[in-house]
């Protein structure tokens, strides 16, 4: 028998304490951990299963996940030695605390936690603390800046349309006023 590690992303972003506790009960016998996937914010399980081959390890990992009541979104199964080599070869990005993230985004700590819990900001739970990869913060800053530009452009376009409509309305009103004066009606103009 060989040990295999399975990394499984679930079909859920529900990372509240009760949901994590239930998942931990299921994966604990397999030296498992529950995390939030760095990309996409889905719930991720990482566990170790003994198996005769890759196929058996995959079936075992799938069975464990299905026992949680969730569906598998993504699955990766590797021999444990290869899994650890891959993990060690992957550079870890700079990580920020929730407070640092909030400061960089110009929002409150509570709002940063809301974004994390909603899966709108990639984060990983380390113990009972969330950490946010700097690339996720950088992407969020760019996304917010892009959205702000689009809103400003739309408001500017709406403002130009409004000014054009108002100018047309004023020209039409002046024509009406001129016609009324010609007819001898006293007209008061408003700016």
Q: Is 143 a member of any domain?
A: no
Residue 17 in any domain: the answer is yes
Q: What is the 3-state secondary structure (H, E, C) of 9-24?
A: EECCCCCCHHHHHHHH
In a domain, 187, yes or no: no
CATH assignment of the domain containing 12 = 3.30.70.1150
What percent of the chain is predicted at pLDDT more than 70?
A: 91
CA angle 176, 182, 186 (to 5 degrees): 75
Range of the domain at 50: 2-89
pLDDT value of position 49: 94
Listed in order, strand segments (DSSP E) in 16-66 are 33-36, 43-51
18-30 pLDDT, tens digit each: 888 888 888 889 9
Domain contains 77? yes
Q: What length does the chain have?
A: 191
How many domains is the chain partitioned into structurally?
1
Residue 190 has pLDDT above 60, yes or no: no
pTM over 0.75: no
Within-domain flag for 60: yes
15 is a domain residue: yes
Instruction: Give a yes or no: residue 153 inside a domain.
Output: no
Q: Which of 4-13, 65-74, 77-86, 144-153 has the lowest mean pLDDT?
A: 144-153
Diameter of the chain measured on Cα atoms: 105
Contact assessment for residue 112 and residue 101, using Cβ atoms and an 8 Å cutoff: yes
The top-scoring range by mean pLDDT among 37-41, 90-94, 105-109 is: 105-109
More confident call, 113 vs 164: 113
Distance, in Å, from the CA atom of 178 to the CA atom of 72, rounded to the nearest integer, reads 74
Backbone torsion region of residue 106, taken as left when φ is above 0, otherwise alpha when ψ lies between -120 and 50, otherwise beta: left
Q: What is the rounded CA–CA span in Å between residue 1 and residue 121?
A: 39
Residue 131 domain-assigned?
A: no
């Amino acid at each position: 028998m060989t040990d295999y590690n399975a990394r499984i992303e679930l079909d859920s972003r529900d990372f509240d304490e009760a949901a994590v506790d239930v998942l931990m009960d299921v994966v604990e016998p397999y030296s498992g951990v529950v995390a939030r996937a760095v990309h996409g914010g889905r719930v991720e399980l990482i566990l170790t299963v003994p198996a005769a081959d890759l196929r058996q390890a995959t079936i075992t990992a799938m069975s464990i996940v299905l026992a949680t009541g969730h569906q598998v979104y993504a699955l990766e199964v590797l021999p444990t030695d290869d899994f650890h080599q891959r993990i060690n070869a992957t550079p870890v990005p700079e990580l920020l605390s929730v407070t640092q993230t909030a400061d960089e985004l110009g929002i409150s700590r509570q709002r940063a936690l809301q974004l994390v819990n909603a899966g709108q900001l990639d984060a990983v739970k380390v113990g009972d603390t969330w950490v946010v990869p700097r690339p996720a913060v950088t992407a969020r800053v760019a996304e917010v800046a892009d959205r702000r530009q689009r809103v400003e452009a739309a408001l500017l376009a709406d403002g130009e349309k409004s000014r054009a409509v108002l100018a047309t309305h004023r020209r039409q009103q002046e024509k009406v006023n001129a016609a009324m004066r010609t007819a001898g009606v006293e007209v008061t103009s408003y700016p």
